[in-house]
Amino acid sequence: MASRRLGVGVIGSGFNARFHLEAFTGVRDADVLGIWSPNRERAGSAAELARNLDVGPARAYQSISELVADPTIDAIWLCGPNHTRVENVEEICHALARRGSPLLGIACEKPLARNVAEALRVTELVRGAGIAHGYLENQLFAPQLEIGRALLWKRGASVAGRPYLARAAEEHSGPHAPWFWQGQLQGGGVLNDMMCHSALVVRHLLTEPGESLGSVRPVRVTAHIASLKWTQAPYADRLTQLMGSDVDYRRAPAEDFASLTVEFRTPDGRTVLGEATTSWSFVGPGLRLSAELLGPEYSMSWNTLNSGLQLFFSREVGGKSGEDLLEKQNAELGLMPVVAQEPVAYGYEAEDRHFVRAFLGLEPVRLTFDDGLEVVRLLMTAYMSAEQGRTLDFPPAGLESFVPAVARGAWRP
């Protein structure tokens, strides 16, 4: 164990922030001490949740500046909405001037920003402030994915040669909060929201353990986006009823499906492929994360809905809808998979444990803002490819000033 504990402050009080609070039950060297959210009531309830989970004596703060100025807060977990990212990081860095001791770290949820210009801004701010930084990408820390990758490279690639094809997908029926559905706030649709996971997963799988992600370089990108479900009239109307009048997919849609193929170049000059799909139009029990890794004489597959636990409820069993079986649960009857300890299964617990230890100086940071910036570059190239209808060399010209049509409210499927 560490000789000291890390005092953690969380910016955000929504679904993602609460996943992290649950994950901290498995982290031994940290205490969640503070929560800030623009919604004071939700900040208070998130702090209460942290206390009830016994992950720290958390309290709600009145501002980001107050949170950062508190000397007991050693590190910040940045879990707010995409459209507040630059503003939040600016306030963090500004508040450091009134702090007597340095922050040990700042960890930012995916995606790092809505576009390359914003990602460069937050990276430069944090680097200029001299703060250690981490990019929160939970799926790279999912236990089954990590163990499978390690074993396949050790037992398969070492004998038959390196893997040449990785696939990853994240699929569910749609996000929880209205801002996710609004391209101008979120930065796009499902490609920006969830391809950040899958694009990094395929690169991670194709990277030899012990080597940096940069050893497998993206060289060509092909992508497609579509609205398969939520622009259909009855579903567009239902979405507005659920999320409010600001979410109008008849007038300002975002993509609910995206596919991506990346050609990578290995250190020995070989071409390997990463294929990724993401969807808000998936109809199934709930969230499905999946991945495959294939090589000359071996393969690996991962699917979170193959959970090992299933429950069956007949039509005689009624009950309220909820998400007590798995995230984005779509039904309460029939044969249902159960994902036990979702923060563990999806990688949040191992992720948070790693960044706590990294900020305490016990191990090197595995993912930094630079990795998050590279992901945003890849996502924006994917939007470019989809808009132009062709494969693009990576990185294409004009990437730093590019804003997707979806994010400008100009996409018409």
The CB density around residue 130, as the number of other CB atoms within 10 Å, is 10
| Distance between CA atoms of residues 210 and 194, nearest Å | 26
pLDDT of residue 319: 75
Global confidence as pTM: 0.96
| Distance between CA atoms of residues 72 and 245, nearest Å | 42
Mean pLDDT for 364-387 is 98
| Distance between CA atoms of residues 241 and 72, nearest Å | 43
Residue 248 vs residue 319, higher pLDDT: 248
Residue 1's pLDDT band, with cuts at 50, 70 and 90, is low
Q: Report, in this order, helix, strand and coil percent for the chain, each rounded to 5.
A: 40, 20, 40
Lowest mean pLDDT among 66-75, 172-181, 221-230, 325-334: 325-334
HEC sequence for 304-347: CCCCCCEEEECCCCCCCCCCCCCCCCCCCCEEEECCCCHHHHCC
Mean pLDDT for 304-315 is 92
Whether 383 has a pLDDT exceeding 70, the answer reads yes
Cβ 75 vs Cβ 7: under 8 Å: yes
Q: Using a pLDDT cut of 90, give the percent of the chain over it.
A: 92
Torsion (CA) 61, 9, 5, 102 in degrees, nearest 10: -100
* DSSP string of 149-163, one letter each residue: HHHIIIIIIHHH---
pLDDT digits (tens, 9 = 90+) for 337-363: 999 999 999 999 999 999 999 999 999
Residue 255's pLDDT band, with cuts at 50, 70 and 90, is very high
| Distance between CA atoms of residues 11 and 17, nearest Å | 8
pLDDT digits (tens, 9 = 90+) for 94-104: 999 888 888 99
Count of H-run helices and E-run strands, the chain:
14, 15
pLDDT of residue 168: 98
pLDDT of residue 50: 98
Whether 10 has a pLDDT exceeding 90, the answer reads yes
CA distances from 33 to 54, 71, 83, 335 (A): 11, 11, 25, 40
Mean model confidence pLDDT for the chain: 96
Cβ 262 vs Cβ 274: under 8 Å: yes
Whether 2 has a pLDDT exceeding 90, the answer reads no
